[in-house]
């Protein structure tokens, strides 16, 4: 629901901020609060980063990852929280960005750890809402919601259809990108390569097959890929070969960082548009894609479907229809692409500039 992105062309946050310069880094990037958690009983070590609450509560999921160091985890927290603000801003939500990162370590009692985290979120009194991300699924959310009102309920009392909302947004975003390039979609002649066939990737594959596109899938879980291939009749391939395929659209829907110096030289697609967060290993890769005339749909625009669904549910008490969310994402991406064309600039750069302009206006800067 609350996954985020780090595809910003800017790199103002230091590569590894030391504790002595942390407040300077937060001030430069407009961060409001950083909480460090260390629970002796459960073994939990975590950071909660609140980037912006100008328009409303901050939203951000819980990423549990085997970081190489606390410094790397801190950087990820800050970067992802800021990108969540961009995502909320471009989706025109009455909300801002935040993030939780948990350091994956041996001998942690994760049930107790999520309970402790839930207590910390509850103490924030609704200033911060959290939900799923990498490493945090239904079981973890159940432990969390037992201790706080400000987390996504994975059951019938929650917003529901989060992955479907993201998949629909990506589908409509791909549609907008193709129209931007060719003034037409014509699904019957389109070939789309999907990297990652989890809930979002599989949902996207179903939508594309329904509309007659040729779909090729890749996933590290061979059984999952084979099962989806039997269901939909799609071709599957080894994940290491996915970026090399000639196609209209390359759709990263797994972990981030898949567009880097090496893959940039191998890409044979016209469009990159997927549900993954942090698709660009560095913001400057967006400029390099633009130089190669590969249209990049900024991930924090196109994968915002679940955030839209979840934030509207929490703040307005209703479930926005999945189809309406898809249209909203498609229109937002189309606007970014038009501005990028007018400026002859990278859509990634233009999306960040648009988000920062709106944020500055809302802050009264």
Residue 274 and residue 195: Cα distance in Å, rounded? 9
Residue 99 falls in the annotated catalytic set: yes
CA distance 165 to 178: 20
Separation CA 322–CA 161 (nearest Å): 8
d(CA 95, CA 89): 8
Half-sphere exposure of 129 (CA within 13 A, CB side): 27
Catalytic-role residue among 45, 99, 190, 285:
99
**Whole-number Å distance between alpha carbons of 298 and 285:** 12
Contacts of 263 (CB under 8 A, 6+ apart): 243
Torsion of CA 265, 270, 271, 276, to 10 degrees: -40
| CA–CA separation, 350 and 15 (whole Å) | 23
Q: Which residues are catalytic?
A: 99
């Amino acid at each position: 629901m609350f996954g985020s992105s780090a595809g910003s062309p800017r790199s103002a946050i230091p590569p590894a901020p030391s504790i002595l310069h942390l407040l300077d880094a937060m001030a430069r990037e407009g961060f409001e609060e950083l909480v460090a958690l260390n629970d002796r009983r459960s073994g939990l070590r975590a950071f909660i980063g609140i980037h912006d609450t100008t328009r409303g509560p901050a939203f951000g999921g819980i990423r549990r990852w085997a970081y190489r160091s606390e410094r790397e985890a801190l950087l990820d927290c800050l970067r992802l929280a800021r990108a969540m603000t961009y995502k909320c801003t471009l989706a025109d939500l009455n909300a801002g960005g935040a993030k939780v990162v948990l350091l994956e370590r041996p001998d942690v009692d994760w049930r107790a750890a999520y309970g402790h985290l839930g207590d910390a979120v509850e103490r924030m009194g609704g200033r911060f809402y959290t939900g799923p991300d990498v490493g945090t699924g239904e079981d973890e959310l159940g432990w969390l919601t037992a201790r706080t009102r400000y987390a996504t309920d994975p059951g019938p009392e929650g917003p529901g259809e989060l992955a479907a909302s993201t998949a629909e947004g990506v589908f409509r975003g791909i549609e907008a990108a193709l129209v931007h390039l060719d003034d037409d979609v014509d699904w019957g002649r389109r070939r789309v390569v999907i990297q990652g066939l989890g809930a979002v990737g599989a949902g996207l594959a179903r939508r594309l097959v329904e509309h007659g596109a040729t779909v090729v899938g890749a996933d590290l879980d061979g059984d999952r890929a084979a099962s989806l291939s039997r269901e939909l009749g799609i071709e599957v391939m080894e994940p290491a070969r996915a970026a090399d395929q000639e196609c209209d659209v390359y759709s990263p829907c797994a972990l981030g960082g898949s567009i880097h110096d090496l893959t940039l030289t191998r890409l044979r697609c016209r469009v990159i548009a997927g549900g993954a967060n942090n698709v660009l290993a560095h913001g400057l890769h967006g400029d390099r894609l633009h130089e190669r005339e590969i249209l990049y749909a900024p991930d924090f625009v196109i994968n915002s479907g679940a955030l839209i669904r979840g934030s509207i549910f929490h703040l307005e008490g209703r479930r926005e229809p999945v189809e309406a969310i898809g249209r909203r994402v498609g229109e937002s991406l189309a606007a970014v692409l038009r501005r990028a064309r007018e400026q002859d600039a990278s859509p990634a750069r233009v999306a960040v500039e648009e988000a920062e302009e709106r944020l500055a206006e809302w802050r009264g800067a």
